[in-house]
Amino acid sequence: MAGNLSIDGLISGLDTTDLINQLMEVERIPITQLEARKAGYNQKISLWQAANTKLLALLTSAGSLTSASTFQAKKVEVSNSDILSATASSSAVSGSYQLRVERLAYAHQMATTSTYADYDTTTFGEGTITLQVGEGDEVEIAIDSSNNTLEGIKNAINQADAGVQASIVKVSGGYKLLLASETTGEAGEISITSALTGGGATLSPFDTIQPAQNARIVLGSGSSALVYESSSNVITDFLPGVTLNLKAVSTEVVTLKVDKDLEGIKNSILDLVRRYNDFSQFVKDNTFYDADTKEGGALLGDTTLSRIMSGINGKLFGSVSSPNEKYDSLVALGISIDRYGQISVDEEKLSKALEDDLGAVENVFRGDKGVAVALKGYLDFVTDPREGTLKDTQDLYKNLIKDIDERIEVMEERLEKQAERLRTQFTAMESALSLLQTQATWLSQQITALSSFNYYQGK
């Protein structure tokens, strides 16, 4: 810009650009201080975002312990997982079951009786092929000169969404068209009708390669045994709350045991402890003060974080109303807090409590005044994305940053105008000095000329 032009001491010998820059650096000190403050606020926002993430993890863990399904969780043990595997929901009934897999479910597969020399040259007639899977709707597929090869028929079937997958298999002597039902069990049996005329070859009838077969599983033995058939090898409606995955037919009796998943419940409790300790350490790392080094955490002096930590502790550590006076608090379950703000767990004591009285342990966490219920309610408030404590705190710092940005913008404009004035003043000074120099030179020349004139006059 024209305003940035300078003559940098052509007359005075001064480096005016450097001089102006140094003056501006002094004037910029308040802006530098504001930028440092802004950087500090941005760091605090990042830390509060990290705190929010940790608290949401703690909230999720607490929420799990307010759910009845967590304490009603079941585990399944299977004597031979090569034959079948199983999972159980909280609605499963504890007990032992003797099972035998008599049949697996298979999808119907068919192949042409004839073998063809190629799959993309030999043409069949034109017309229609009709497919039906089980008692489903018939699907009519048009075959014309654009798709009347083995490859074309395969593609037409696959594009028809008829519940059948077609492929071409290479066998001794050529190729066959293979059809496979997308539905396992007897309900997936394929029916096909071909009405093609003309062409160089005839589409042959189909042989069954694999029959449509239901799975069959037997519970118990003898004349009172219960037999169950399914179109799928994944059975969800035989044993209440238990999902069976049949893998192999066998005469071997598989023992399936359903029981309370005390280990899983304990792990849910331990997860809450881990999440708590993670947040507690975060608070400690960011609010400490070292008297020897005079250094402190980035959130030192921010009382909000400490209040949240105190609020969490208040919800967790205290007695709850319980029908079992032996187990009426976290401490009674072997869960305690040390002087460093970390929770430790006596896992042996916790396991014993779960075995002795699962209902009492559940009440400690999810009863009317349960610690998980109280903690979840508190964290729901703290982490609320619209009006929670964490959002309010982050908004406070964002508003402070916005204010700083506005102040810096005003100050930058003022400094630019000041720098322009200095450039103008120094330019004017150099111009004035140049004019004086010109005048001095002229005067010197006049004096010299006058002296010469007087000299010649005297001679």
Question: Which residue's entry shows tokens 């071909």?
Answer: 194
Q: Is 422 exposed, middle or buried (0-12, 13-18, 19+ CB in 10 A)?
A: middle
Which of 231, 260, 289 is a domain's end point?
A: 260
pLDDT tens, position by position, 36-88: 888 878 888 888 899 999 999 999 999 999 999 999 999 999 999 999 999 99
Asked if 316 and 180 sit in the same domain, the reply is no
Contact 105, 215 (CB under 8 A): yes
Token duo for residue 90: 């909280």
Asked if 339 and 237 sit in the same domain, the reply is no
Q: Which domain holds residue 225?
A: 74-104+215-260
Which of 173, 194, 210 is a domain's end point?
A: 210
- Indicate whether 223 pLDDT > 70: yes
> Rounded to the nearest 5°, which phi and psi values hold at 100?
-135, 130
Token duo for residue 165: 């997958």
Asked if 394 and 426 sit in the same domain, the reply is yes
Q: How far is CA 377 from CA 66, 274, 314, 380, in A?
A: 10, 19, 12, 5
The four Cα atoms 332, 333, 337, 338 give a dihedral, to 10 degrees, of 80
Asked if 265 and 182 sit in the same domain, the reply is no
Asked if 225 and 304 sit in the same domain, the reply is no
For the entire predicted model, the pTM comes to: 0.70
Residue 36's CB is within 10 A of a number of other CB atoms, namely: 9
pLDDT tens, position by position, 92-127: 999 999 999 999 999 999 999 999 999 999 999 999
Q: Supply the pLDDT for residue 279.
A: 95
Residue 384 backbone zone (phi > 0: left; psi -120 to 50: alpha; other: beta): beta
Give CA–CA dist 314/312, Å, rounded.
Answer: 5
Q: Supply the pLDDT for residue 5.
A: 45
Give CA–CA dist 143/25, Å, rounded.
Answer: 84
| Residue type at 440 in one-letter notation | A
Going by pLDDT thresholds of 50, 70 and 90, the confidence category of residue 16 is: low
Residue-wise DSSP of 330-385:
TGGGTEEE-TTS-EEE-HHHHHHHHHH-HHHHHHHHHSTT-HHHHHHHHHHHHT-T
Comparing C-alpha atoms, which of 7, 65, 166 is closest to residue 376? 65
Comparing C-alpha atoms, which of 316, 322, 306, 307 is closest to residue 337? 316
Q: Supply the pLDDT for residue 22.
A: 73
Asked if 320 and 408 sit in the same domain, the reply is yes
Comparing C-alpha atoms, which of 100, 203, 105, 219 is closest to residue 150? 203
Comparing C-alpha atoms, which of 175, 40, 90, 177 is closest to residue 358? 90
Radius of gyration of the chain (CA): 44
Question: Which residue's entry shows tokens 């404009």?
Answer: 413
| Residue type at 129 in one-letter notation | I
Which range among 153-157, 244-248, 273-277, 446-450 shows the weakest confidence by mean pLDDT?
446-450
Asked if 248 and 279 sit in the same domain, the reply is no
Structure letter (DSSP) for residue 117: S
Comparing C-alpha atoms, which of 67, 49, 55, 71 is closest to residue 275? 55
- Indicate whether 13 pLDDT > 60: no
| Residue type at 251 in one-letter notation | T
Q: How far is CA 59 from CA 73, 337, 362, in A?
A: 20, 19, 17
The residue count of the chain comes to 459
Between 242 and 324, the higher pLDDT residue:
242
Between 446 and 214, the higher pLDDT residue:
214
> Rounded to the nearest 5°, which phi and psi values hold at 58?
-65, -40
Asked if 191 and 232 sit in the same domain, the reply is no
Q: What is the CATH number of the domain that holds 185?
A: 2.60.40
Q: Supply the pLDDT for residue 324.
A: 64
**Mean pLDDT score, 130-148:** 96
Q: Supply the pLDDT for residue 71.
A: 95
Asked if 396 and 303 sit in the same domain, the reply is yes
Instruction: Give me the number of domains the chain comprises.
Output: 3
Q: Supply the pLDDT for residue 459.
A: 54
Question: Which residue's entry shows tokens 């430790």?
Answer: 344
Asked if 281 and 154 sit in the same domain, the reply is no
**Mean pLDDT score, 377-400:** 88
Asked if 294 and 342 sit in the same domain, the reply is yes
Contact 390, 48 (CB under 8 A): yes
Going by pLDDT thresholds of 50, 70 and 90, the confidence category of residue 333 is: very high
- Indicate whether 368 pLDDT > 60: yes
pLDDT tens, position by position, 394-446: 888 888 888 888 887 887 788 787 767 766 666 666 676 666 667 767 777 76
Asked if 270 and 409 sit in the same domain, the reply is yes
C-alpha distance across the termini of the chain, in Å: 60
- Indicate whether 453 pLDDT > 80: no
Which of 210, 227, 244 is a domain's end point?
A: 210
Helix axes 29-64, 389-458, angle to 10 degrees: 160
> Rounded to the nearest 5°, which phi and psi values hold at 72?
-100, 10
**Mean pLDDT score, 374-392:** 90
Contact 90, 148 (CB under 8 A): no
Structure letter (DSSP) for residue 237: S
Give CA–CA dist 320/278, Å, rounded.
Answer: 25
Give CA–CA dist 153/156, Å, rounded.
Answer: 5
Q: Supply the pLDDT for residue 314.
A: 92
Token duo for residue 188: 């997936």
